[in-house]
Amino acid sequence: MHADTRRTVAIISHPDAGKTTLTEQLLKVTDTIGRAGAVNSKGNKKATVTDWMEMEQERGISVASSAVRIHVDGITINLLDTPGHGDFSEDTYRVLSAVDSAVMLLDAAKGIEPQTRRLFEVCRARQLPIITFVNKIDRPSMDPVDILDHVERELDLQLVPMNWPAGAGAAMGGLVHLDGGAREPAVWDPIGFQEFEWDEAADTLEMAVGSAGGFDREKFLAGDQSPMFFGAAAKMFGVDHLIKAICTLAPEPMPRLDAEGQARPVEEAFSAQVFKLQANMDQRHRDVAAFMRINSGAFVRGDKVAIARTGRPLVVTRAVEPFGRDSETVEEAWPGDVIVLPGSRDLRIGDTLHAGKAVNFPRITTFAPSIFREVRNRDIARRKQFQQGISQLGDEGVVQIYIDPKVGIQTPIAAAVGELQYEVFTHRMANEFGVEVGLSQLPLAISVAWDEKNEGTPPRATGMRVLESTHGIQLLAFGSDWALANYRKDHPELLLHDVL
């Protein structure tokens, strides 16, 4: 099923840690490049084909997640992008439902930064195996032992170093590798490096690995242990070892659990799950494209599949690679691959498509929003378009849409994890639906989901809002952690679930 040749991976990092640089370097080592220049970029310094939307082009950022494909040593690495800007969105998180492992990229001088942590928490909740890459070791950095301690402590994650820097910063002589103890001299001229530091590095490496009890692939696959590499992406130093780790340590696509907890064998008939919808890839058609990850079987163009949610058949006459505007048509694809179906008005985020034996994968988690805003229609004459836009963009997951039953559907409440989602939302409401919306900030910051098993309706509290989604989820939203904690204390009998 070719699944054993696939590694589907995302890089998680904080802005500026070097994700763009690393992605470019990974593309350079590849036998055949999925698409040259398919890397997101900031500013105009690099060409980009992933910026579909006008807004992205104006701002020189990538709102949408995309992918590149790398072929190396008979392995195909599908590298899915998680937009790396300070201002990120739920798309960033959803991508993590479509990968089998992640590379956590850290800046050697900064360690764990806020966005790395948020993305890491999502990986942990999904028990995703993580390979750690400590980047920019050619620059003044934290001491390697301190980095290791810091990451272990901050994330409560066991690290096993697979290489170790000999010397430090400008005086760094190179890397000692665990694998055979090879000494790899730096590709730059170290100033003041002493030969004996090789032995010191080898000893420290041995000690650090020993105290972790050695590398254990099972622990890594369970997300309990992370192999750690030092390197410098910009200098193409240590990057080959990272690639090797992705090929040899990172898991191939495994059977995925369906909504009933049954595993769908990778060899079963075709199945895939939509993890992202993207509008406007083609301005002329007001197109919506569905990005899906194949979980089992082969995708063959022209095959008839079913949409699990509706039971409706769909003949997939056209699917494209997820590399950008001039995407190529896909004739066949395999588990772990991502394909894009243009013109998919009937599909929603989380939808399962399948051939053969029916299957329905679990809903993709909704992420804990922290910014809540009331949405008002500024043009009463365009009431219908307003409702259409709200419903379409809500389904696409641009923002989450809720209704406060006390207020009604004419003033929905939007919720999001990042400011950028609101920019995309207002831009698209205006451009695609011709509706000017007004947004007003609500004094809400945290929410929990109401369990249907609770009796009656949620007891009220000052400052709390009850919000209902179109999927029947009830959120209780509060102004602060403190307000929520008090509510839990006042109502210990209630079942309330954390939203991830």
Binding footprint of ligand G4P on the chain (CB under 6 A): 13, 15-21, 84, 135-136, 138-139, 232-235
Residue 435's Cα: distance from chain center in Å? 30
User: Is beta strand 474-478 parallel, antiparallel or unpaired with respect to 496-498?
Assistant: unpaired
CB of 71 to ligand G4P, least distance (A): 22
Q: Tell me if 9 sits within 8 A of 130, measured CB to CB.
A: no
CB of 151 to ligand G4P, least distance (A): 17
Cα–Cα nearest to 110, from 139, 84, 142, 158: 142
Q: First and final CA of the chain: distance in angstroms?
A: 33
Q: Tell me if 173 sits within 8 A of 230, measured CB to CB.
A: no
Please report, to the nearest 10 degrees, the dihedral formed by the alpha carbons of residues 141, 142, 144, 150 taken in order.
Answer: -140
R_g over Cα of the chain: 24
Identify which of residues 34 and 238 has a Cβ nearer to ligand G4P in the complex: 238
Identify which of residues 18 and 297 has a Cβ nearer to ligand G4P in the complex: 18
> What are the backbone dihedrals phi and psi of residue 171, each rounded to the nearest 5 degrees, phi first?
-95, 20
Placement of tokens 């760094």 in the chain: 172
Identify which of residues 135 and 295 has a Cβ nearer to ligand G4P in the complex: 135
Tokens standing for 151? 């990451």
CB of 329 to ligand G4P, least distance (A): 30
CB of 316 to ligand G4P, least distance (A): 33
Q: Tell me if 429 sits within 8 A of 435, measured CB to CB.
A: yes
d(CA 452, CA 282): 41
Identify which of residues 39 and 355 has a Cβ nearer to ligand G4P in the complex: 39
CB of 76 to ligand G4P, least distance (A): 23
CB of 22 to ligand G4P, least distance (A): 7
Identify which of residues 40 and 360 has a Cβ nearer to ligand G4P in the complex: 40
d(CA 268, CA 89): 33
Identify which of residues 19 and 373 has a Cβ nearer to ligand G4P in the complex: 19
> What are the backbone dihedrals phi and psi of residue 27, each rounded to the nearest 5 degrees, phi first?
-65, -30
**DSSP 8-state code for residue 232:** B
Amino acid occupying residue 216: D
* Neighbouring-strand partners of residue 102: 10, 130
Please report, to the nearest 10 degrees, the dihedral formed by the alpha carbons of residues 365, 366, 370, 375 taken in order.
Answer: 170
Cα–Cα nearest to 11, from 320, 252, 233, 179: 233
Identify which of residues 245 and 398 has a Cβ nearer to ligand G4P in the complex: 245
CB of 17 to ligand G4P, least distance (A): 5
Ordered alpha helix ranges (H), 286-444? 383-396, 419-433
Q: In 3-state terms, what secondary structure has residue 357?
A: coil
Helices 197-211 and 144-155 meet at what angle, rounded to 10?
20
Q: Tell me if 433 sits within 8 A of 365, measured CB to CB.
A: no
Identify which of residues 15 and 389 has a Cβ nearer to ligand G4P in the complex: 15
CB of 45 to ligand G4P, least distance (A): 6
Identify which of residues 21 and 426 has a Cβ nearer to ligand G4P in the complex: 21
* Neighbouring-strand partners of residue 23: none
CB of 105 to ligand G4P, least distance (A): 7
User: Is beta strand 371-377 parallel, antiparallel or unpaired with respect to 437-441?
Assistant: antiparallel
CB of 37 to ligand G4P, least distance (A): 14
Cα–Cα nearest to 376, from 405, 410, 407: 410
CB of 291 to ligand G4P, least distance (A): 21
Identify which of residues 107 and 258 has a Cβ nearer to ligand G4P in the complex: 107
Identify which of residues 16 and 468 has a Cβ nearer to ligand G4P in the complex: 16
d(CA 347, CA 357): 20
Identify which of residues 5 and 25 has a Cβ nearer to ligand G4P in the complex: 25
CB of 470 to ligand G4P, least distance (A): 35
